[in-house]
Amino acid sequence: MYNDKVIEIFKNPKNIGELKDANAIGTIGNASCGDIMQVYLKIENNIIVDAKFKTFGCAAAIAASSVATEMIIGKTIEEALSLKNADVVAELGGLPAQKIHCSVLAEEAIQAAIKDYKEKNNG
Amino acid sequence: MYNDKVIEIFKNPKNIGELKDANAIGTIGNASCGDIMQVYLKIENNIIVDAKFKTFGCAAAIAASSVATEMIIGKTIEEALSLKNADVVAELGGLPAQKIHCSVLAEEAIQAAIKDYKEKNNG
Amino acid sequence: MKVYLDNSATTPLNPYVLEAMLPFYTEKFGNAASIHSFGREANRAVSDAREIIAECINSRPSEIYFTSGGTESDNWALKGAVSVSKNKNKHIITTLIEHPAILNTCAELEKQNVKVTYLKPSKEGIINIKNLSESITEDTILSTIMFANNEIGTIQPIKEAAAICRDFGVLFHTDAVQAMDSQKIDVKDLGVDMLSMSAHKFHGPKGIGVLFLKTGSRLGKLINGGEQERGLRAGTTPTPLIVGMAKALEISNRDREINNERILRLRNRFIDMVLSEIPYAYLNGCRDSRLPNNANFSFAFIEGESILMRLDLAGIAVSSGSACASGSLEASHVILSLGVKEELAHSTIRFSLGVDTTEQQMDYVFNVLKKTVDDLRKMSPLYDYEKGIGSYV
Amino acid sequence: MKVYLDNSATTPLNPYVLEAMLPFYTEKFGNAASIHSFGREANRAVSDAREIIAECINSRPSEIYFTSGGTESDNWALKGAVSVSKNKNKHIITTLIEHPAILNTCAELEKQNVKVTYLKPSKEGIINIKNLSESITEDTILSTIMFANNEIGTIQPIKEAAAICRDFGVLFHTDAVQAMDSQKIDVKDLGVDMLSMSAHKFHGPKGIGVLFLKTGSRLGKLINGGEQERGLRAGTTPTPLIVGMAKALEISNRDREINNERILRLRNRFIDMVLSEIPYAYLNGCRDSRLPNNANFSFAFIEGESILMRLDLAGIAVSSGSACASGSLEASHVILSLGVKEELAHSTIRFSLGVDTTEQQMDYVFNVLKKTVDDLRKMSPLYDYEKGIGSYV
Ligand SMILES: Cc1ncc(COP(=O)(O)O)c(C=O)c1O
Ligand SMILES: Cc1ncc(COP(=O)(O)O)c(C=O)c1O
- Ligand 1 atom having least distance to the Cα of C150: 16
* pLDDT over 90, % of chain D: 94
The whole-chain average pLDDT of chain D stands at 95
- Give chains near C: 3+ CB pairs under 8 A: A, B, D
Min distance A28 CA to chain C CA atoms (Å): 10
Give the range among A30-44, B40-54, C253-267, D214-228 with minimum mean pLDDT: A30-44
C321 lies within 8 A of chain D by CB: no
Q: Is the pLDDT of residue D328 over 90?
A: no
Q: What is the pTM of this model?
A: 0.95
CB contact (8 A) between residue B59 and residue D331 = no
Summarised one tens digit per residue, pLDDT across range A22-74 is: 999 999 998 778 889 999 999 999 999 999 999 999 999 999 999 999 999 99
Q: What mean pLDDT is reported for chain B?
A: 93
Interface membership of B1 toward C (CB under 8 Å): yes
DSSP secondary structure of C357-391: --HHHHHHHHHHHHHHHHHHHHT-TTEETTTTEE-
Domain boundaries, chain C: 3-8+256-390, 15-252
Is the CB of B90 inside 8 Å of chain C's CB atoms? Answer: no
Provide the pLDDT for residue D323: 42
State the nearest Cα–Cα gap between B6 and chain C, in angstroms.
14
Tell whether A1 lies on the interface with D, counting CB pairs under 8 A.
Answer: yes
> How does D369-388 read in b/e, with b if 16+ C-beta sit within 10 Å?
beebbebbbebbbbbeeeee
Q: Does the beta carbon of D71 lie inside 6 Å of ligand 2?
A: yes
CB contact under 8 A, C343 and A7: no
Give the model's pLDDT for residue D69. 98
Q: What is the pLDDT along chain C (393 residues), one digit of tens a residue?
A: 899 999 999 999 999 999 999 999 999 999 999 999 999 999 999 999 999 999 999 999 999 999 999 999 999 999 999 999 999 999 999 999 999 999 999 999 999 999 999 999 999 999 999 999 999 999 999 999 999 999 999 999 999 999 999 999 999 999 999 999 999 999 999 999 999 999 999 999 999 999 999 999 999 999 999 999 999 999 999 999 999 999 999 999 999 999 999 999 999 999 999 999 999 999 999 999 999 999 999 999 999 999 999 999 999 999 996 444 444 568 899 999 999 999 899 999 999 999 999 999 999 999 999 999 999 999 999 998 878 888 755
Which of C11, C71, C202 to mutate to test ligand 1, by most ligand atoms within 8 A of the CB atom? C71
Which domain, by its residues, includes B115?
A: 4-120
Q: What's the 3-state SS for chain D?
A: CCEECECCCCCCCCHHHHHHHHHHHCCCCCCCCCCCHHHHHHHHHHHHHHHHHHHHHCCCHHHEEEECCHHHHHHHHHHHHHHHCCCCCCEEEEECCCCHHHHHHHHHHHHCCCEEEEECECCCCCECHHHHHHHCCCCEEEEECCCECCCCCEECCHHHHHHHHHHHCCEEEEECCCCCCCCCCCHHHHCCCEEEEEHHHHCCCCCCEEEEECCCCCCCCCCCCCCCHHHCCCCCCCHHHHHHHHHHHHHHHHHHHHHHHHHHHHHHHHHHHHHHHCCCEEECCCCCCECCCEEEEEECCCCHHHHHHHHHHCCEECECCCCCCCCCCCCCHHHHHCCCCHHHHCCEEEEECCCCCCHHHHHHHHHHHHHHHHHHHHCCCCEECCCCEECCC
What is the third-level CATH fold of D3-8+256-390? Aspartate Aminotransferase, domain 1 (3.90.1150)
Report, as an integer, the average pLDDT of D67-91. 97
The CB of D155 under 6 Å from ligand 2? The reply is no
| Per-residue pLDDT at D392 | 58
**Binary contact (C108, D323; C-beta < 8 A):** no
Spell out which residues of chain A touch residue D35, defining contact as CB-CB under 8 Å. Answer: 1
Q: Which of D310, D331, D381 sits opposite B36 (nearest CB)?
A: D381
Q: With the CA atoms of B15, B16, B18 and B23 taken in that order, what torsion angle do they form, in degrees rounded to the nearest 10?
A: 30
Give chain A's domain count.
Answer: 1
Among A91-105, C7-21, D3-17, D275-289, which is the least confidently predicted range?
Answer: A91-105
| Preferred mutation among D31, D34, D35 to probe A, highest tally of A CBs within 10 A | D35
Q: For the structural domain made of C15-252, what CATH number should be given?
A: 3.40.640.10
* Residues contacting residue D51 through CB under 8 Å, at least 6 positions apart: D61
ipTM of the complex: 0.94
Best CA proximity match to D216, nearest among D59, D375, D6, D380: D59
Closest residue on chain D to A58 (Cα): D35
CA proximity to D58, closest of D179, D184, D198: D184
Identify whether A58 is a catalytic site residue: no
Is D296 a pocket residue for ligand 2 (Cβ < 6 Å)?
no
The stretch D19-26 carries a mean pLDDT of 98
Give the CATH number for residue A88: 3.90.1010.10
Q: Whose CA is nearest to atom 9 of ligand 2?
A: C236
For residue B98, the model assigns a pLDDT of 86
| B57, pLDDT greater than 70 | yes
B10 contacts D382? CB cut-off 8 A: no
Check if C236 has its Cβ closer than 6 Å to any atom of ligand 2: yes
Which residue in the list A1, A3, A18, A33 is annotated as catalytic? Answer: A33
Provide, as residue numbers in chain D, all residues whose Cβ is less than 8 Å from the Cβ of C356: none
Choose the mutation target among C35, C38, C46, C62 for the interface with B, i.e. most B CBs under 10 Å: C35
